């Protein structure tokens, strides 16, 4: 199986996670979206040298990963393309910021080191929080939540169509790669002469299939707006969930709770 098909399988596994019957899956999508956005906003609002409070924000991830019966390892593996990028964001900070901030043991920790650590943590946590959202909420439900906030219809439809066509593009690419490899067994990768026709054919075939999908949609009454997910009513547990997290975020961000608990 080609690398492309493996990656597609991973994405399809995410779809399976979204369809499970669990506490997190059953929450209202608007509540999950708001909580995730709030978490990320609170996380990035910590001053750059505050590593410990930032670290404590992992409580949200640990609780929800266990509540949702999700594996952190799988989450990290599935986000492996993005995680290295967020990790290198602050990698040069120690070279530019030599301000001594604190001492740990015999070592002086500079502002650059702390800001690098906090940036890395913020990046990783934000990616994992987003993973939590997409592992427990289908794209239709996320789009429904976005429409609930009056995000323009056209923008939400584009997001949903990108999701649909992403698979079409991926599947076509996977098929073509398999066909190529079977007839070029001794080659490592794709020969430069084949790139042009392969990419050209890939686009043409993907367009053909995308057109057929669109035809299938319009033959079933699609007129530019999706019926995003199942219409759900807010329940008490949605409010409790949201309020509980708002309180936790507030405590972690605006009080000295860490000092109180020693």
Partner 1 sequence: MKTETMKECIHIEHLNFSYEGEEMVLRDVNLVASSGESIGLIGANGIGKSTLLKLLVGLDLHYEGKLEIATHPMTKENLNHIREHIGYVFQDSDSQLFMTTVEEDVAFGPQNYGLSPEEVEERVQYALSKVHLTDLRKKHIYKMSGGEKKLASIATILAMRPDIVLMDEPSVALDPRNRRRLINILNEMPQMKLIASHDLDFILDTCERTILMDEGTIIFDGKTSEVMRDKDLLELHGLELPLRFQD
Residue 67 engages partner 1 in binding (rule: CB under 8 A):
no
The H or E element that residue 148 is part of is: helix 139-148
Q: Which one of 222, 239, 250, 254 is in contact with partner 1 (CB under 8 A)? A: 222
Interface mask (CB under 8 A) for partner 1, residues 4-43, using x and -? --------x--xx-xx------------------------
Tokens of 144: 């429904």
Interface segment toward partner 1; rule CB under 8 A; list 24-32, 121-129, 186-194, 222-230: 222-230
* Pairing label, strands 107-110, 100-104: antiparallel
**Which residue in the block uniquely carries the two structure tokens 């430069």?**
192
**CA dihedral over 225, 230, 233, 234, signed as positive or negative:** negative
Rounded to whole angstroms, the Cα distance separating 33 from 42 reads 14
Interaction residues for partner 1, span 122-141 (CB under 8 A): 138, 140
Cβ nearer to partner 1, comparing 11 with 82? 11
* Contact region with partner 1 (CB under 8 A), list: 30-38, 143-151, 210-218, 250-258: 210-218
| Opening angle at CA 256, ends 251 and 260, nearest 5 | 105
Distance separating alpha carbons of residues 253 and 167, to the nearest angstrom = 40
Binding flag, residue 109, partner 1 (CB under 8 A): no
18 vs 137: CA distance, rounded Å: 5
Beta bridge partners of 110: 100
Per-position x/- string for 144-183, each x denoting binding to partner 1 as judged by CB under 8 A, each - no binding: --------------------x------x------------
Which residue is it, tokens 């290198």?
A: 88
Q: Does 221 bind partner 1 (CB under 8 A)?
A: yes
**256 counts as binding partner 1 under rule CB under 8 A:** no
Q: Can you give the binding site for partner 1, defined by CB under 8 A?
A: 12, 15-16, 18-19, 138, 140, 164, 171, 209, 212-213, 215-223, 227, 230-231
């Amino acid at each position: 199986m080609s690398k492309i098909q493996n990656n597609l399988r991973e994405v399809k596994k995410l779809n399976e996670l979204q369809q499970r019957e669990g506490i997190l899956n059953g929450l209202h999508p608007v509540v999950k979206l708001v909580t995730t956005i709030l978490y990320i906003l609170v996380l990035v609002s910590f001053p750059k040298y505050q590593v410990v409070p930032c670290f404590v924000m992992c409580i949200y991830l640990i609780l929800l990963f266990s509540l949702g019966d999700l594996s952190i390892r799988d989450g990290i593996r599935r986000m492996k393309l993005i995680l290295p990028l967020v990790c290198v964001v602050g990698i040069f900070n120690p070279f530019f910021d030599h301000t001594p901030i604190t001492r740990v043991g015999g070592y002086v920790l500079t502002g650059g080191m702390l800001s690098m650590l906090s940036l890395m943590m913020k990046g990783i946590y934000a990616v994992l929080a987003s993973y939590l959202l997409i592992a427990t909420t289908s794209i239709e439900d996320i789009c429904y939540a976005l429409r609930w906030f009056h995000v323009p219809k056209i923008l939400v439809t584009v997001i949903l169509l990108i999701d649909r066509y992403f698979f079409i593009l991926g599947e076509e690419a996977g098929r073509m790669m398999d066909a190529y490899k079977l007839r070029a067994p001794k080659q490592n990768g794709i020969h430069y002469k084949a790139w042009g026709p392969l990419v050209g054919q890939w686009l043409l075939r993907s367009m053909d299939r995308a057109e057929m999908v669109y035809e299938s949609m319009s033959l079933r009454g699609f007129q530019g707006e999706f019926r995003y997910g199942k219409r759900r009513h807010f329940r008490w547990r949605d409010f409790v969930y949201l309020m509980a997290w708002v309180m936790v975020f507030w405590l972690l961000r605006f009080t000295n709770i860490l000092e109180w608990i020693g």
